[in-house]
Amino acid sequence: MGFQIVVLWSDMLVWLLVAAGIGVGVLIRRTPPLLAAWRRVGANRVGMASATVLLAFILVGLLDSLHYRPALEGKPGQKTQYAVDVLSALDALVTPLRTRNEKTYSEPFATRLYAKETVDVPGQGAVREYPRLKYGGKHLAGREDEVAADAGFTAFRAGVLAFLGWLAVAGLAAAAVGRGKAAGSGWQRIWRGDTAFAWNAVLTALGLMLLVGVPLFWLSGQYHVFGTDKVGQDVLYQILKSVRTGLIIGLVTTLVMLPMAVLLGIVAGYFRGWVDDAIQYVYTVLNSIPGVLLIAAAVLMMQVVIDTHPQWFSTAAERADLRLLALCFILGITSWTGLCRLLRGETLKLRELEYIQAAQAFGVSSWRIIIRHILPNLMHIVIIALVMDFSGLVLAEAVLSYVGIGVDPTMTSFGTMINNARMELGREPVVWWSLAAAFAAMFILVLAANLFADAVRDAFDPRA
């Protein structure tokens, strides 16, 4: 076999979340009230446009969660040896971005390095000039002044291809919507917004992503479209690798936080008395400690454990993965208090309603009342809080990595990109593209998550 499959702990959690999502989808399909609420989400144009963008990020994250170690070349008959580097399916798809490294900084679409170097020129001796890039604009040879025309023509061809692909997808959607009706009725219903599902928003968002993404990746085979960093690595490749880190921080931390917040919040509100006092004391103490200091102390202690047990890890990827999971658990343990307090207040209100008191009068057990009556009436709050907390956790990782207590330095994330770019802002001339690219990608991800959260909130809020 030409590769060895590697399963990291974070990979298992990611695919476990995918399986859980499929299970929740089946449950929603069988539960009419939940199905009606999600149909309202599907009818929201802004929500569906943002969901389309989020699905693109999730697809990148899933491709980056299929890891393997490539086999090394060896003599026939020898035992196969595998590389130390752990790659992913995403790395295989974007191999040119990963392998075509320059010497150091270069601007977006540049053909030469960003800083002058001393170069020996035959007949002229040592000359200070901007050296030619090894890969950026290599196909132009000596026609460096034609970068704009070449990039524009290439982007136009890729845009035409993207538009044709979008027409094919839109045609399939129109055929599905207008099934059994007159030809063209599907198109009319979609663009007039007469469908129960916001197909017009989905197709519009998909068209914009294709018109931007296809030319971008086509051009990335010829240029460094977002430039290169200090060690010459393509910034677009770093952006793609940062997506998985942001998704894991947002989703796995939520998975850690959810059971504790839901259980303690409902128990405190339902049983009241000393149970309520004890739970309130716990989350009040946690809230009184500055969050950054608590997270920093926990991360540093975990880092000491990792450093003193190097035998636990066969690759650097496993070491970085453990620190990422440790950060997720630490963030989850320190961020459950807000949802817990919210669920406690709602439970205090629900337990005084007539149907709860009737169940108590009939002798129904407390835990059965909690599971059958309290929890279902709190699920809209849980869903809204989880979706809205996702964007906050992605931003938290960026802040923590910026101050040096986030993910492992060897792992690419939006926070490490911003942290590495802060020193570049002090150069003359300024190296701006790494920070701008990281900020733009994180802004799009967080904005899409927030807009989708607003759609979910509007659909599940019983007062709406």
Query: Which range, 64-73, 205-214, 314-323, has the best average confidence (pLDDT)?
Result: 205-214
Cβ neighbours around 401 below 10 Å, total: 25
In the prediction, which pLDDT does 207 show? 92
- The verdict on 213 and 251 lying in the same domain is no
Q: How far apart are CA 379 and CA 216, in angstroms?
A: 41
Q: 31 pLDDT exceeds 70?
A: yes
Burial group, residue 60, by CB count within 10 angstroms (0-12, 13-18, 19+): buried
Q: How far apart are CA 273 and CA 252, in angstroms?
A: 33
Q: 244 pLDDT exceeds 70?
A: yes
In the prediction, which pLDDT does 142 show? 76
Instruction: Give the DSSP letter of residue 195.
Output: S
Residue 122 lies in a domain: no
In the prediction, which pLDDT does 212 show? 92
Give me the CATH number covering residue 259. Answer: 1.10.3720.10
- The verdict on 26 and 148 lying in the same domain is no
Residue 96 lies in a domain: yes
Q: 463 pLDDT exceeds 70?
A: no
In the prediction, which pLDDT does 460 show? 75
For tokens 């992913």, name the residue.
88
> In terms of Cα–Cα distance, which of 347, 376, 447 is closest to 37?
376
In the prediction, which pLDDT does 182 show? 59
How confident is residue 248, by pLDDT bands cut at 50, 70 and 90? confident
In the prediction, which pLDDT does 210 show? 93
Task: Name the pairing type of β-strands 67-70 and 3-6.
Answer: antiparallel
How confident is the model over 3-16, as a mean pLDDT? 85
Higher pLDDT, 461 or 111: 111
How confident is the model over 427-440, as a mean pLDDT? 84
How confident is residue 237, by pLDDT bands cut at 50, 70 and 90? very high
Q: The dihedral of CA 353, 354, 357, 358: what is its sign?
A: negative
- The verdict on 252 and 370 lying in the same domain is yes
How confident is residue 432, by pLDDT bands cut at 50, 70 and 90? confident
Residue 114 lies in a domain: no
- The verdict on 194 and 279 lying in the same domain is no
- The verdict on 43 and 73 lying in the same domain is yes
In the prediction, which pLDDT does 368 show? 86
> In terms of Cα–Cα distance, which of 431, 402, 437, 441 is closest to 104?
431
How confident is residue 75, by pLDDT bands cut at 50, 70 and 90? low
- The verdict on 289 and 201 lying in the same domain is no
In the prediction, which pLDDT does 62 show? 92
In the prediction, which pLDDT does 160 show? 94
- The verdict on 258 and 182 lying in the same domain is no
How confident is the model over 387-411, as a mean pLDDT? 76
Residue 106 lies in a domain: no
Q: How far is CA 280 from the centre of its chain?
A: 33
How confident is the model over 284-297, as a mean pLDDT? 79
Q: 457 pLDDT exceeds 90?
A: no
Look at the chain and report how many structural domains it folds into. Answer: 3
How confident is residue 215, by pLDDT bands cut at 50, 70 and 90? very high
Residue 200 lies in a domain: yes
In the prediction, which pLDDT does 161 show? 94
In the prediction, which pLDDT does 158 show? 93
Residue 229 lies in a domain: no
In the prediction, which pLDDT does 115 show? 79
Provide the percentage of residues in the chain whose pLDDT is more than 90: 14
For the ranges 195-199, 232-236, 279-283, 400-404, which has the lowest average pLDDT?
A: 400-404
- The verdict on 250 and 213 lying in the same domain is no
How confident is the model over 62-84, as a mean pLDDT? 80
Q: 1 pLDDT exceeds 60?
A: no
In the prediction, which pLDDT does 52 show? 94
Query: Which range, 216-220, 245-249, 386-390, has the best average confidence (pLDDT)?
Result: 216-220
Q: How many CA atoms are closer than 13 Å to the CA of 315, on its beta-carbon side?
A: 16
Range of the domain at 190: 144-220
Q: Which of 220, 252, 282 is the last residue of a domain?
A: 220
Residue 226 lies in a domain: no
In the prediction, which pLDDT does 239 show? 92
Phi, psi of 221 (to 5 degrees): -75, -15
> In terms of Cα–Cα distance, which of 197, 165, 167 is closest to 51?
197
Instruction: List, for residues 345-390, the tens digit of each pLDDT value.
Output: 889 888 888 888 888 888 888 888 888 888 878 877 887 777 777 7
Residue 385 lies in a domain: yes
Burial group, residue 78, by CB count within 10 angstroms (0-12, 13-18, 19+): exposed
> In terms of Cα–Cα distance, which of 236, 254, 256 is closest to 246?
254
Instruction: List, for residues 110-167, the tens digit of each pLDDT value.
Output: 888 887 777 776 766 677 787 888 888 888 877 778 888 888 999 999 999 999 999 9
Q: Which of 100, 132, 157 is the last residue of a domain?
A: 100
| Mean pLDDT across the chain | 83
Instruction: List, for residues 171-198, the tens digit of each pLDDT value.
Output: 888 888 877 665 567 788 888 878 888 8
How confident is the model over 238-248, as a mean pLDDT? 89
- The verdict on 322 and 260 lying in the same domain is yes
> In terms of Cα–Cα distance, which of 440, 84, 63, 422 is closest to 229?
422
